[in-house]
Amino acid sequence: MPSFESWGRYPKAKQELKQLFWSQDFPLHDDLHSFQLPAGMGRSYGDVCLNDGNTLLLTRGLNRLVAFDPNTGVLCCESGVTLAEILDFALPHGWFLPVTPGTKFVTVGGAIANDVHGKNHHVAGTFGRYVRRFGLARSDGTRLECSPNRNSEWYSATIGGLGLTGLIDWAEIQLKPAVSRMICCQAVQFHGLEEFVALSEEKGGCEYTVAWIDSVRTNGKAVRGVFMCGDHDRTPEPRKAMSKFKLAVPIDLPGFVLNRASVGLFNTLYFHKQVKKQAAKVIDYEPFFYPLDSVLHWNRVYGKHGLLQFQCVIPSSDGLSAMREILDVVQKSGLASFLSVLKVFGNLPSPGMMSFPMPGITLTLDFPIRPPKSFSLVDQLGEMTLAAGGRIYPAKDARMTPVQFRSFYPNHLDFTRYVDPRFSSSFWRRVNGE
């Protein structure tokens, strides 16, 4: 029986899968007893794209580009089109994604429903800001066209609406001009969160900024990391696609492969890969934006039990001391986060009433699942985020409690009015204590 997993492969869910190929395939007429949920590429890590005991509507078959204006960069497509497909089509015409997450293997529907952010959040905000309009199909057969001026309350509820307001069947997106596929980037080593924040300010004029940190080695010492920033190269060049050859992790590796010693060694090698404190180069956009996409199924490295991701944002006011405490707790836990990323979010508002980003510092961590230690650590980080007035990203979450959810997302009551009565998800039932 075909199955559907989220990228973290936790929790496991048993659900009926229904493939949609045409927008008219929805609503379903033979499924009146279970709750439904649209799902794209399953690149969310936790259970926001799962619907245990119910039905998943697989949208990848809604994969047609509908219209494109090469003069304005406005693209209309079905919701199962991936960001990779948009780039393949639009870059040769001189257009790029306005916002992209760290993988291009996500659908337009998924990018809207989680209102994803990227390395340019400080200057561009979230993906939802570039969605001019979309179609929303409800289980009662209603079809709504939503935009900032039309059905605007549905527009706001559906951007960052976690797939619960109905099926997005098409969307119109504003792309941005790019004359080259190359990115001029710099990497700067830093020691300490203060240095990270200073670099974020100093390089804030760069369109893309992000930092990798070594979360294993804090041990009383200042956290070390590499701050990366970049801008699109403005020199036009023949837009040749890179080779599509990809490595793949063929099997689940044993869980012990990623341990504190191996991650610590990797971090030391990575930190010293760059011999100088500062380095600059021009690289293709793929390794710059999507370093992990070059290894297919890289999530198998975490073993068959999967991984827990954790992404929080801590508001700017008290960001540094709370972040320092969080990193200290991670370091003392003895668990190693393989990929640890810091970024300063900007203050451009999102149109979505339930969107995750807010001004502050965001931290992303991941841990192989080793019960009970990995669960209790992530739970503790959730409580620390709550105490610091921050919030956790549902797309990367498998542990948020109902109390935390209500505090992180103060618009949740208003949002509930827009949830389709035939829709639900494993995440939604969990954070509502069901």
Q: What does the per-residue mask of binding to ligand FAD show for 269-298, with x meaning CB under 6 A?
A: -----------------------x------
Q: How far is the CB of 361 from ligand FAD (least distance, A)?
A: 15
Alpha helix positions (H), 105-256:
108-113, 121-124, 152-158, 193-202
Q: Whose Cβ is closer to ligand FAD: residue 44's or residue 55's?
A: 44
Residue 341 bridge partners (DSSP): 212, 364
Token pair recorded at residue 195:
């240095």
The string over 107-119, giving b where at least 16 C-beta atoms fall within 10 Å of a residue's C-beta and e elsewhere, is bbbbbbbbbbbbb
Q: Judged by CB under 6 A, which stretch of 41-49, 189-197, 252-260, 279-287 contacts ligand FAD?
A: 41-49
Among 75, 87, 167, 263, binds ligand FAD (CB under 6 A): 167
Q: How far is the CB of 227 from ligand FAD (least distance, A)?
A: 16
Token pair recorded at residue 416:
């509930």
Q: What does the per-residue mask of binding to ligand FAD show for 116-155, with x meaning CB under 6 A?
A: xxx-------------------------------------
Of 394, 361, 391, residue with least CA distance to 211: 361
Examine residue 163 and tell whether it contacts ligand FAD (CB under 6 A).
yes
Q: Whose Cβ is closer to ligand FAD: residue 110's or residue 360's?
A: 110
Q: What does the per-residue mask of binding to ligand FAD show for 89-118, with x meaning CB under 6 A?
A: ------------xxx--xx-xxx-xx-xxx
Q: Whose Cβ is closer to ligand FAD: residue 7's or residue 10's?
A: 7
3-state secondary structure of 232: strand
Examine residue 247 and tell whether it contacts ligand FAD (CB under 6 A).
no
Token pair recorded at residue 425:
């998800």
228, 342 contact by CB (below 8 A): no
3-state secondary structure of 339: coil
Residues 6 or more apart whose CB falls under 8 angstroms from that of 76 comprise 65, 66, 67, 68, 170, 171, 172, 173
Q: What does the per-residue mask of binding to ligand FAD show for 60-89, with x meaning CB under 6 A?
A: -------------------x----------
Q: What residue is closest to ligand FAD based on CB?
A: 163
Query: By rule CB under 6 A, what count of residues binds ligand FAD?
Result: 32
Among 15, 44, 120, 424, binds ligand FAD (CB under 6 A): 44
23, 62 contact by CB (below 8 A): yes
Q: Whose Cβ is closer to ligand FAD: residue 117's or residue 232's?
A: 117
Token pair recorded at residue 225:
């990391």
Q: How far is the CB of 283 from ligand FAD (least distance, A)?
A: 18
Q: Judged by CB under 6 A, which stretch of 28-36, 38-46, 314-322, 366-374 contacts ligand FAD?
A: 38-46
Residues 6 or more apart whose CB falls under 8 angstroms from that of 312 comprise 326, 362, 363, 381, 382, 385, 390, 391, 392, 393
Of 118, 147, 159, residue with least CA distance to 411: 159
Label residue 275 exposed, middle or buried (CB < 10 Å: 0-12, 13-18, 19+). exposed
Q: How far is the CB of 412 from ligand FAD (least distance, A)?
A: 15
The string over 241-272, giving b where at least 16 C-beta atoms fall within 10 Å of a residue's C-beta and e elsewhere, is eeeeeeeeeeebeebeebeeeebeeebeeebe
Q: Whose Cβ is closer to ligand FAD: residue 73's or residue 80's?
A: 80
Q: Whose Cβ is closer to ligand FAD: residue 51's or residue 333's?
A: 51
Q: Whose Cβ is closer to ligand FAD: residue 112's or residue 193's?
A: 112
Examine residue 8 and tell whether it contacts ligand FAD (CB under 6 A).
no
Among 75, 97, 193, 395, binds ligand FAD (CB under 6 A): 395
Q: Whose Cβ is closer to ligand FAD: residue 111's or residue 333's?
A: 111
Q: Determine phi and psi for 76, rounding to 5 degrees.
A: -115, 130
116, 160 contact by CB (below 8 A): no
Q: How far is the CB of 284 from ligand FAD (least distance, A)?
A: 18
Sites of contact with ligand FAD (CB under 6 A): 7, 37-44, 48-49, 59, 79, 101-103, 106-107, 109-111, 113-114, 116-118, 162-163, 167-168, 292, 395
